[in-house]
Structure 1
């Protein structure tokens, strides 16, 4: 089963890291990258995604804007450079996992294994 992914991060190096990790996982296919909520919304109008890798803060906004999407349609993995203590102001109950930058390929795959098992249950 292939899972389609979109990355939302306004840092090109962070996008490249996640893209490289996605390419290492045969279960994943990257269908797009965005650096703003508006760009993500445009991608989702054209492509159906299974997994969204979302940074906490991005160009023109932050993850609190995710409510504009029908989030139950997606598995959301948050990626962030913030520490745990800086996340208290955000409601991240919708996130299936959080990856703290910089994260290893092993940690990425661990997160992926969690969400693949969740997708299989649906």
Structure 2
């Protein structure tokens, strides 16, 4: 199965790293990426995104966009420098994942495999 992905991160280097990881992974396809949440919040449903990689600490007031984003039926993987304990209060682990920054490709693939198993 091919998974359609979106990346939202206000750090250009982190955005580039995640993009390269998605390109290296045969069952992933990048359909949109942005430095700003508001740019892609509405595109997620329109482009039928399956997985959203999202930085937890995006600049600006994003409450409206996060609320809109969370209405989509997709997997959210939080990408952050915060520890997983600090982030757990934000999301339940069901259709959610976590990648600490900087994430190695091995950890990236491990999290994707965990989510593939959980969703099957």
TM-score where L is the length of structure 2: 0.84
The separation in 2 between residues aligned to 1:3 and 1:19, in whole angstroms, is 14
SS of 1:61's partner is coil
The separation in 2 between residues aligned to 1:64 and 1:102, in whole angstroms, is 28
Q: Is 1:93 aligned to residue 64 of structure 2?
A: no
- Cα distance change, pair 116–65 in 1 and its aligned pair in 2 (3 A): same
Residue in 2 aligned with 1:60? 60
Residue in 2 aligned with 1:6? 6
**CA contact under 8 A between 2:41 and 2:66: conserved in structure 1?**
no
TM-score where L is the length of structure 1: 0.83
Q: CA deviation at 1:112?
A: 0.5
Q: Aligned residue pairs: how many?
A: 119
**CA contact under 8 A between 2:84 and 2:98: conserved in structure 1?**
no
Unaligned runs of 5+ in 1: none
- Cα distance change, pair 84–113 in 1 and its aligned pair in 2 (3 A): closer
The separation in 2 between residues aligned to 1:107 and 1:64, in whole angstroms, is 31
- Superposition RMSD in Å: 2.3
Unaligned runs of 5+ in 2: none
Q: Is 1:106 aligned to residue 87 of structure 2?
A: no
Alignment of 1:1-40 (within 5 A): 1-40=1-40
